[in-house]
Amino acid sequence: MSNILQSNPNPSFPLRFSWSAVRDYGLIFSGALLQALALRIFLVPANLASGGVSGIAQIINHYTDWPIGLMIFIGNLPLFLLGWRYLGGTRFVLRTGFAIVAVSLLTDILAPFLPRVGVTPDPVLNALYGGIISGIGYGLVYHGQGTSGGSDILARILNHWRGVSITQSYLITDALVVFLAGLAFSWENALYALVMLYVTGLAAEAINEGSNVLRTVLVVTSQPQIVAEQIMQEMERGVTLMPARGGYTGAERTVLYCVVSRAEVTQVKALVRESDPEAFMVIGHAHEALGEGFRPLHS
């Protein structure tokens, strides 16, 4: 594992104020609030496991009555430290840490103020609205250039370590949680949870733009080295530099090409904007990516 995952050599924290950062943290907080509301109003009362660390926290709470928010925080802590070491990047550390703390605190703080039995006993409505609201929450967190920890971190680590695609990583982790939920609650609840997870994914994709998992990014810039270094250091994504000439001006330019996940689109936009505000970007959909950082070519 150590030969493939390289720890971040400079885990520094340059604190620079900007309104874009305030907006990002506002989006992350709003997303965390929606996730906590979905848990407390729809998912927990209906015994629908939300997947990832949150789902495991629900199962533990079912047997022990320990606070769900506290369990979310404890469960995310080792994954967060692992992600900090092997995924690195200031944006990852600050935004993901903020998202984890916000979801954990809000989940427990809101509990006394919300109906313990939820708003409806109908499992279909709980799965539908719980999935939509939590999906919107995830989408807002992604839009704020953060992740919600848990499955997000584990999926990226599996992607780096074994070349497992992001979608397959989510499938593996969520399938395990749903199986455990079937044992803890009921298999009928587990089936409703699968519907909820599917709706959550659709809602998150709709909020974060587009339905495909992968995006191709073309950047025409006069600062190719700066932009490429930012993408490679902050996102650990490979970048290809291609020489080009403007058809109208005849000016020499460099075109950058890279492939990112849907959750990384907002981040790559911000990095390019910071590095070269005059750059020209084209973001397209990719059906599949094979090779380093994605699914292995030989499979």
Contact predicate 285/212, CB 8 Å: yes
On whether both 102 and 225 belong to a single domain, the answer is no
Query: pLDDT tens across 272-281, in order?
Result: 999 999 899 9
Say if 195 falls within a structural domain. yes
On whether both 86 and 135 belong to a single domain, the answer is yes
Sheet holding 214-221, edge to edge: 240-245, 252-261, 214-221, 280-286
Query: pLDDT tens across 11-47, in order?
Result: 444 445 577 788 889 999 999 999 999 999 999 999 9
d(CA 160, CA 42): 34
pLDDT given at position 152: 74
Q: Which domain holds residue 218?
A: 214-286
Q: Which amino acid, 56? A: I
On whether both 189 and 248 belong to a single domain, the answer is no
Token look-up 């998150």 returns: 204
Per-residue pLDDT at 5 exceeds 50: no
Hey, what are 99's tokens? 């998202």
Query: pLDDT tens across 188-199, in order?
Result: 999 999 999 888
Q: Which of 52, 239, 231, 240 is nearest to 148 (CA)?
A: 52
On whether both 107 and 225 belong to a single domain, the answer is no
On whether both 61 and 137 belong to a single domain, the answer is yes
State pTM to two decimals: 0.67
Number of domains in the chain: 2
Asked which of 207, 232, 265 is the last residue of a domain, the reply is 207
Contact predicate 266/142, CB 8 Å: yes
Say if 296 falls within a structural domain. no
On whether both 144 and 102 belong to a single domain, the answer is yes
Hey, what are 212's tokens? 């495909």
Lowest mean pLDDT among 22-26, 52-56, 152-156, 266-270: 152-156
